Amino acid sequence: MSAPKKLYIKTYGCQMNVYDSERMAESLGGQGYVETQSPDDADMILLNTCHIREKAAEKVYSELGRFKGLKAAKPDLKIGVAGCVAQAEGAEIMRRQPLVDLVVGPQSYHRLPAMEARAGTGEKVLDTDFPEEDKFEKLARRPKAKRGPTAFLTVQEGCDKFCAFCVVPYTRGAEVSRPVDRVLREAEDLVERGVREITLLGQNVNAYHGAGPEGDMTLAQLIWQLNEIDGLERIRFTTSHPNDMMDDLIEAHGTCDKLMPYLHLPVQAGSDKILKRMNRAHTADSYLRLIERIRAARPDILISGDFIVGFPEETEADFQATLDLVEAVKYGTAYSFKYSTRPGTPAAERAQVDPAEADDRLQRLQALLTRQQREVQDSMVGREVGVLFERPGRFAGQMVGKSDYLHAVHVADCDAAPGDLRRVRIVSSGTNSLAGELIG
């Protein structure tokens, strides 16, 4: 019996890319590949790329350049580029880096085994189509190997919002939702393999409208279907758009015990002028009223957000409006970035904010967000929370898990095992985590 071939995957970007990398590895498992943690002993290297951050394509080319020595020493080594940079750059990747054997877009990776076989004959293979077939149905069934207690599950892809700063509609395509029965089938399979918490993924996940037995279902209706799966203890979802936060989803946060009290709801800015220029189609006030309704349904919910500073034409007054919104919401955690141009997007053609001014604004915003995050974490001390334990900690007898609110929690002298869901009393707050003790 021949030795298995080794596959090294490097994943950039969001949770959806993590999920995609898992599925690509599984699909190539049928071709005799097993994963390795080092590119040095790989028979195939696959970069699953993201196009959101600044100079994303150049970072991929730089990474590929590091593999030239490996390719020279191992001519049979196959190198592939997948994901959003692959979709955006296409054949340009092979032109600039001839060592690349295949390029596959995020909607075509179910064709990866056939592409790998063609590359094995020396052919250069490119597939950045938006195929009509459902890639998830074309993928091989997930193997029954034991899984960790948490998993991602993509239920929706693409976006129709066309925010002025974003390339997702161009790299991932229009909004598409997976049928309810297929999502439930995959969720049940994950639970059979040991998963107790599932995070539903989508570029705009709360726009979910998957086909059900009696018509399209909303995300809230899907969550209630998942709620019926024995052994599934926790449900989360990300990332959401304020305009698609429907009444039934808000209600579910107050009534569905398995839906965790954590919501990532990006606003991007607090200035109505900038929001309009971003093509966000909501105002600061409508966002704040939405937060009020969500907290009325679930008062203890932890709100997370995304912010872009230094967007074209942003003034100091516009930025102050963002700080005012942050003060009003009091985020438990948030992600903030300095605007960077994306070729082909409307904002790339506009007058840019001075980089030094954008840097200063980012530092001021991050200082405020960090203070709020610490205040929320400190407020957890003395409270009892559920913790789903995932792995041993750095010290003997220590276990680490996630709270209902997605805080990392460390517990010393802990007899819990990975996958155990236990009650924990929080005893102290650190910079990015909490410490607790088991109750009973």
Mean pLDDT of 332-347: 89
For the structural domain made of 384-438, what CATH number should be given? Answer: 2.40.50.140
Q: What Rg do the C-alpha atoms of the chain give, in angstroms?
A: 23
Residue 198: pLDDT over 90: yes
State which H helix or E strand residue 437 sits in.
strand 434-438
The pLDDT of residue 131 is 66
Q: From the CB of residue 374, how many other CB atoms can be counted at a distance below 10 Å?
A: 14
- Please give the share of the chain, as a percent, with pLDDT higher than 90: 75
Residue 53: pLDDT band (50, 70, 90) is low
Nearest to 288 by CA among 331, 317, 247, 320: 331
Task: Consult the annotation and say whether 256 binds a ligand.
Answer: no
Complete DSSP assignment for 20-84: HHHHHHHHHHTTTEEE-S-GGG-SEEEEEE--SSTTHHHHHHHHHHTTHHHHHH-TT-EEEEEEH
Model pLDDT for residues 362-401, shown as the tens digit of each residue: 999 999 999 999 999 999 999 999 999 999 999 999 999 9
Residue 358 CA to residue 123 CA, distance in Å, equals: 46
Question: Looking at residue 133, what is its pLDDT?
Answer: 61
pLDDT of 412? 96
Tell me if 252 sits within 8 A of 220, measured CB to CB. Answer: yes
5-127 and 144-260: identical CATH topology: no
pLDDT of residue 132: 63
Q: What is the pLDDT of residues 233-291, one digit of tens each?
A: 999 999 999 999 999 999 999 999 999 999 999 999 999 999 999 999 999 999 999 99
Distance CA 171, CA 87 (A): 6
Residue 357 has pLDDT above 90, yes or no: yes
Closest CA relative to residue 341, chosen from 168, 204, 173, 167: 167
Ordered by start, the domain boundaries in the chain are 5-127, 144-260, 262-270+286-379, 384-438
Nearest one of 171, 168, 236 to 204, comparing CA atoms: 168
Check if CATH label 3.30.750.200 holds for domain 262-270+286-379.
Answer: yes
* Cβ contact 329:265 at 8 Å: no
Average pLDDT over residues 112-140: 81
State which CATH number among 3.40.630.30, 3.40.50.720, 3.40.50.1260, 3.30.750.210 fits the domain covering 144-260: 3.30.750.210
436 DSSP β-pair partners: 411, 426
Residue 1 has pLDDT above 60, yes or no: no
**Nearest-angstrom CA–CA distance, 114 and 131:** 15
For 5-127, give the CATH class.
alpha beta
Contact 259, 252 (CB under 8 A): yes
pLDDT of residue 261: 98
Q: What is the mean pLDDT of residues 185-200?
A: 96
The whole-number pLDDT of residue 13 equals 79
Task: Say which amino acid occupies 117.
Answer: A
Distance CA 213, CA 215 (A): 6
Find tokens 């024995």 and name the residue.
Answer: 230
